[in-house]
Amino acid sequence: MSPDTVPTDAEAACFEAGIKFGSLYHQFAGTPVSPDSAASLETAMEESIENQPHCTEVSVDVRTAELEAALAESTADYTELTGRFLDVEIVVDYEGCEVVTRMEMEDGYPLMRLESVRGRA
């Protein structure tokens, strides 16, 4: 492999963070959720993703006000989990390079983005 094709530690850390978000979102999208189960679902999501390599911290907040508003318009006691109900932060440390990523609603879309990169190679 030539030196110009080897990813930097920062690039590898960003890739790892993307993998974590893909796992989190697609593993849990569609899960039944209610205000009563939101806290346990947050914990399950955090602990599941923290098991993955290089993941140092995961914070999941179910937006209960949004959840309750959706349920107020429904006859059911629960709905399916989608990105509109989540605020997530994932921190990855790869070879001393730390990346912080976040997913929040932006203009009606659950946008995943890179917040910061520290310790770039």
Tell me, what's the pLDDT at 119?
A: 87
Q: Which residues contact 107 (CB under 8 A, 6 or more apart)?
A: none
Beta bridge partners of 42: none
What residues of the chain score a pLDDT lower than 50? none
CA angle 44, 49, 52 (to 5 degrees): 140
How high is the mean pLDDT of the chain? 93
| pLDDT, tens digit, 9 for 90 and up, residues 96-105 | 999 999 999 9
pTM: 0.90
Tell me, what's the pLDDT at 121?
A: 54
